[in-house]
Amino acid sequence: MRILVLCTHNSARSQMAEGWLRYWAEQLKLPAEIWSAGTEKTFVKPDAIAVMGEVGIDLSAHTSKTLYDLPDPWNFDLVLTVCDSAAENCPAYPAQTQKLHVSFPDPSGKGLAEWRRVRDALGRMSQGLIQSLTQGQVPSEQDLAEAAGLTQAR
């Protein structure tokens, strides 16, 4: 399975989601190739590297990428956008590509407590996504948002 996480700059949310998805895929033994990219590239924010390091996920070698920096960028089984701008600017993928959108707040400039809150929400969402995929299911956006703690449970 090939999974792509898209955000605007590939500097924070998508990088943290990639780290979490790789972690949960390994833990739950889901064979997956996981990538992140942005509609633009900048740099991976030091706060993203720091807060992910606190939970044992090393992003220090990650770089900010655009879709066009990836190998075979149009061949993904699932594309997950984690910010509204990326969802609006997401390129068209083939019909067989599953597309999901869950919007996470941008923690930039809001202190480490907010970075940790977004990190943990991305971790919960990533765990829920990988658990569903290991069962051969693609969860709904609502289920992922609820797993992340971004909405009230139904």
**Which residues are designated catalytic?**
7, 83, 90
Distances (CA, A) of 26 to 29, 113, 129, 148: 5, 27, 13, 20
Query: Please, what sign has the CA dihedral across residues 86, 31, 98, 66?
Result: positive
Q: Which residues contact 68 (CB under 8 A, 6 or more apart)?
A: none
Q: Give the three-class secondary structure for 119.
A: helix
**Dihedral sign (CA 78, 37, 119, 63):** positive
Report the residue count for the chain.
154
